[in-house]
Structure 1
Amino acid sequence: MHINIENQDCVLGMKSLPGESVDVVITSPPYNIGIAYNSYDDKGTREDYLNWTRDWTHGVNRVLKDDGSFFINIGASPKDPLLPHQIALQLSEDFVLQNTFHWIKAVSVETREGDTVSAGHFKPINSKRYVTDCHEYVFHFTKHGNVPLDRLAIGVPYADKSNIARWGHTDGKDKRCRGNTWFVPYETIKSRSKDRPHPATFPAKLAEHCIRIHGEPEQSCVMDPFLGIGHSLRAAQACKASQFIGFEIDPDYFKEAQTLTHSQHAST
């Protein structure tokens, strides 16, 4: 895989790319909720934040292919639940919202036997007004809303195997569409400073889902305008994408992402 990652502002970096040259964009920008990044002030006015969002997503629109996919992961704080929806409305100026996926970080499910099974990781909230937030959004934007997806690339087996023969669309295969709720827990780590030295990351598996469901990852150029410590790069490597482009403004986070390029060279 050809990797091109740069330590610079993505708005400037994307200007150097040819138009309609990227197949898949998967990213998670700052949420403007006061996260303590090293080099970015995450607490501006809502107007300034949405104007900035317009700037960098214009860049994405220019470099994205006509049949490309733009996956943007956005969360919210309990005090500011409208943020993801305002960003989605902002992006609708340039894109069509084709799918909305719900990234489930933690979930509790009651079995048929009456037992409760809890899985995943979450940050508990001690509040009389709000419940603990265990999910975020992944909005899937395209230019025209008609991009075909490889839905079974992240498919799951049927719980009731009789459905395989009952439904003609299965073609006899034990795999169905996963749907728009994706349970992707964080990996368990021992040390935040060593294993995940970034205050706001998504699991590489979440980015893998996005790349695979778009289809034909081996032929895809994947881009992340907010590279962070490189989880989207890890996903592109796992999917064997043909090319990866990333931008990260913070030098410390960028150095972490660079280690992934070194490990790829060592294994080739």
Structure 2
Amino acid sequence: MIKIIKIYNMDCMDGMKYIKNESINCIITSPPYNLKGDFHTFVNGKRVTYGDYKGFKDNLPEEVYQSHQTTFLNECYRILKNDGFMFYNHKNRIINGSIISPLDWIQKTKFNIYQIVVLNLKSTANVDKRRFFPVHELLFILNKNNKTKLNNVECLTDVWEMKKVPRKITGHPATFHVMLPERCIKSATKEGDIVLDPYMGVGTTAIACINNNRNYIGFEISTTYCDIANRRIQDVVSKIE
């Protein structure tokens, strides 16, 4: 039995099996990008590689990765309420000299693509001078019923400027800013709704839920990141109390 206000240290595909059909109001997540362990940045002009996610080898054959993401998204479709939204953060990648778009597998799922938001991260560690430097990622807004509408309470455009949180702060190589899930939550849910993050990482979506009086469920395969998430959540809760 899956309980709310809890992060489960397990593979999300195993965990979501225990969630009932059409029981989740909103899903917000960013899966591993299958970057072959190539998380890197530049320090004093020198490339520094971080390696893999803790507890997960981000190095699948591309066709296996895409098939897995298609299956994952269809499972999210099953548990999402008919009037719910999913916010799926991913990016275009270059493989063998060609752009691979997340649309390649999203369009194979049951979801309707409601909108695509550009996340302007303002900087990048990818400084390949053979191309213009990529400083954006994408937020795919997906729903089941194309009559369901978001509430753009902040009157935002479809380009959001935000920086990712440095690894030295959270211990995770790809933490999005809490502003991202907070914007999603405010536009697609109401107080008391249930928000799921299947790739919870270090708990940013959970913190956004706490800040906005939403319930959350999370799955995180890495024990290291799960422990960090629970510590971060406890810090937030203790300040509220």
TM-score w.r.t. the length of structure 2 is: 0.85
> In the comparison of the two structures, how many residue pairs are matched?
221
The 8 Å contact of residues 88 and 139 in structure 1, kept in 2 or not, is answered as no
1:154 is paired with a residue whose SS is coil
CA RMSD in angstroms comes to 1.8
* Residue 51 (structure 1) aligned with residue 67 (structure 2): yes
- From 74, 91, 108, the counterpart of 1:75: 91
Distance in 2, matches of 1:136 and 1:88, equals 15
Match of 1:165 in 2: none
Partner of 1:233: 206
Shift of 1:264: 4.7
**Corresponding residue for 1:158?**
none
Q: Percent identity?
A: 28
State how far apart, in whole Å, the 1-side matches of 2:149 and 2:33 are. 29
User: Can you give the 5+ residue segments of structure 1 that lack an aligned partner in the other structure?
Assistant: 107-120, 156-177
Taking the aligned partners of 1:34 and 1:64, their CA distance within structure 2 comes to 30
The CA distance in 2 between the partners of 1:124 and 1:56, in whole Å, is 28
Name the CA distance, whole Å, in 2 between partners of 1:73 and 1:37.
17
Describe the superposition over 1:59-110 as per-residue Cα deviations: whole angstroms up to 9, x where unpaired: 21111001000110001334453232213223xx21100111111111xxxx
Task: Please state if 1:248 is matched with 2:220.
Answer: yes
Superposed counterparts of 1:178-257, under 5 Å: 178-187=156-165, 192-193=167-168, 195-216=169-190, 218-241=191-214, 243-257=215-229
- Tell me the equivalent position of 2:16: 14
The match for 1:144 is 145
1:265 CA displacement: 4.5
Q: Residue 103 of structure 1: SS of its match in structure 2? A: strand
Offset from partner CA, 1:35-62 (integer Å, 9 cap, x none): 3212212121122112211222222111
Query: Does residue 63 in structure 1 map to residue 79 in structure 2?
Result: yes
The amino acid that maps onto 2:35 is I
Gaps of 5+ in 2: 38-51
User: How many angstroms apart in 2 are the aligned matches of 1:103 and 1:89?
Assistant: 20
| CA deviation after TM superposition for structure 1 residue 260, in Å | 3.1
Report if aligned partners of 1:76, 1:84 keep a CA contact under 8 Å in 2.
Answer: yes
Paired amino acid for 1:224: D
For the Cα contact (< 8 Å) 1:7–1:248, is it kept in 2?
yes
Which residue pairs with 2:134 in the alignment?
133
* Partner Cα separation in structure 1 for residue 125 and residue 173 of structure 2: 13
State the distance in 2 between where 1:122 and 1:47 align: 26
Amino acid at match of 1:57: L
Give, as a single letter, the amino acid of the residue that structure 1 aligns with 2:125: K
Q: Secondary structure at the match of 2:209?
A: helix
Distance in structure 1 (CA, Å) of the matches to 2:70 and 2:93? 21
Which deviates more, 31-40 or 76-85?
76-85
Larger C-alpha radius of gyration, 1 or 2? 1
* Deviating 4+ runs (over 4 angstroms): none
SS in 2 for 1:23: strand
CA distance in 1, matches of 2:231, 2:12: 20
The normalised TM-score by structure 1 is: 0.77
